[in-house]
Amino acid sequence: MPSSAHLQDPPPLLSRTLTQNEGQTSLRQSSSCGPSAASASESLSGSTESRIPHSKMLQGKLPRNIPLEYPAGLYCCYVVIIVLSVAVVALSVALSVKKTAQISTINTYAACPRNWIGVGNKCFYFNEIPSNWTLSQTLCKEQGAELARFDTEEELNFLRRYKGSSGYWFGLHRESSAHPWKWTDNTEYNNSVSIGGDEKHGFLSDNGFSSGRGYIVRKSICRKPNSYTSQCL
């Protein structure tokens, strides 16, 4: 501060001449009144006192404020921003991975058409509208399937449980009561479950397997492999 005062010497000289004139006028007025002169002296002393604390405060504030505020706040912001950015990136990666998994899951669930029921690698459809055996087989074929057969105990148990109390045509048939039972693809039935009745067309009843005349109308069950298996093969 004192050095700055010295540098400012030339301008004060010019200002002094102006202030001198002003000072003279003020003194003349004050000479007429005693109390006004006293007030002037007090104001001068006050201004001199205020100078010192101002300079001290300024000197103190500047060095203190700069190092304290700048780094701390900025560092905090940087850390928070970095953490959040990393979190967003991680979540994006996780989401993309999950989408991949989801796609494979959808394929698995879509292996059987709508309204068909998947059991193992097969799809089963329960046709609730009664029709005769031949028409039932035709309706199955229209959907790329055959009247149902079972290859495993699991499939048989599923058919028994799911059918309820109604009778359902399925894939067994024979030429006469003297001939062996066959599936719709003409492979011979292994007689793992005996078939009641003495007719030529098999159906599932709640009493096990039975046979009836082909022109009787009943509900029916279709079966076909699921597309997932087909794709794997």
Partner 1 sequence: MDAPVLYAELHLANTQGLRCTSPPSPRQDACWGSGWHRVALKLGCVGLILLLMGLSVLVGFLVQKPPIEKCSVAVQENKTEPTVRSTILECPRDWHLHWNKCLFISQTSRPWAEGLADCSLRGATLLLIGDGKELKLLQDFSKGKGQQFFIGLKYVQEDKVWKWMNGSILNTNLLRITGKNEENSCALISHTEVFSDSCSSDNHWICQKTLKRV
Give contact residues for partner 1 (rule: CB under 8 A): 4-5, 8, 11-12, 15-16, 19-20, 22-24, 27, 40, 44, 47-48, 51, 54, 58, 77, 80-81, 84-85, 87-88, 91-92, 94-95, 98, 102, 105-106, 109-110, 112, 114-118, 125-126, 128, 130, 164-167, 196-199, 205-208, 210-213, 215-219
- Confirm if 209 and 194 have CB atoms less than 8 A apart: yes
Rounded to the nearest whole angstrom, what is the least distance from the CB of residue 151 to partner 1 in the complex?
A: 21
186: tokens are 């003409």
**Cα–Cα distance measured from residue 96 to residue 88, given in angstroms and rounded to the nearest whole number:** 12
Residue 127 CB partners (closer than 8 Å, separation 6+) = 136, 139, 140, 219, 220, 221, 222
For partner 1, the closer of residues 77 and 157 by Cβ is: 77
Work out the end-to-end distance of the chain between its first and last CA atoms, rounded to an integer number of angstroms.
Answer: 92
- Confirm if 121 and 154 have CB atoms less than 8 A apart: no
Cα–chain center distance at 90: 13
Question: Alpha helix (H) ranges present in the chain?
Answer: 2-7, 10-32, 34-109, 133-142, 153-162, 227-232
The strand pairing partners of 156, in sequence order, are none
Integer angstrom CA distances of residue 158 from 44, 122, 163, 186? 109, 12, 8, 23
